[in-house]
Structure 1
């Protein structure tokens, strides 16, 4: 049975017999399934290889996040070393280190 046909049958049943709780739940569940399938189709994720594609995209995103974190860590270390070197140069100048070289 097609997606829309099952939903149409459930709605017809609800109209004929009155809408009991089980029928309403079945309508809601079927409507959710139809909507999810339609959304996946619009995104192009309704083919059999979509799960593999999503797993690869998640892996790629994880690698990107790791690379970004490593890059930020390296930049922070570089900045820290630069600041430390500048502090040492300023201290050397204040303590008269250039005069010691003469």
Structure 2
């Protein structure tokens, strides 16, 4: 947000000094587009297949998150089952079923 204010202030200053606001805006827009293209090129996303690559990465990340969530749920389920089994075993020992089973 502050960057927008700085840009607006710079444009007003240039206009006050006689520069055409339309030309300045076009200059800023062109510089922004070139900067964005350069940034995308520097990370290898300047080709035509970059959109598909990003979609695949998002899909892979979503699958990873789903797998992580499923693994956590399964682990919690097994811990709960183990605790219930230990509880039942403790109740059986306390009530004397352990000796009757022998």
Report TM bin, short chain: 0.7 to 0.9
Bigger CA drift: 91-100 or 38-47? 91-100
Secondary structure in 2 aligned to 1:75? Answer: helix
The Cα shift of 1:101 comes to: 2.3
Please list every run of at least 4 consecutive aligned residues from structure 1 whose deviation after the TM superposition is greater than 6 angstroms: none
Unpaired stretches in structure 1, ≥5 consecutive residues = 1-13
Q: Higher relative contact order by CA 8 Å / sep ≥ 6: 1 or 2?
A: 1
CA distance in 2, matches of 1:66, 1:91: 37
Unpaired stretches in structure 2, ≥5 consecutive residues = 1-13
CA distance in 1, matches of 2:86, 2:21: 74
CA distance in 2, matches of 1:20, 1:100: 98
CA distance in 2, matches of 1:28, 1:45: 23
Count of aligned positions? 88
Secondary structure in 2 aligned to 1:45? Answer: coil
In the superposition, the TM-score normalised over structure 2's length comes to: 0.74
CA RMSD, Structure 1 to Structure 2 (Å): 2.1
The Cα shift of 1:22 comes to: 2.6
Give the equivalent residue in structure 1 for 2:54: 54
In the superposition, the TM-score normalised over structure 1's length comes to: 0.74
Give the equivalent residue in structure 2 for 1:37: 37
**1:64-79 paired onto structure 2 within 5 Å:** 64-79=64-79
The Cα shift of 1:21 comes to: 3.2
Secondary structure in 2 aligned to 1:39? Answer: helix
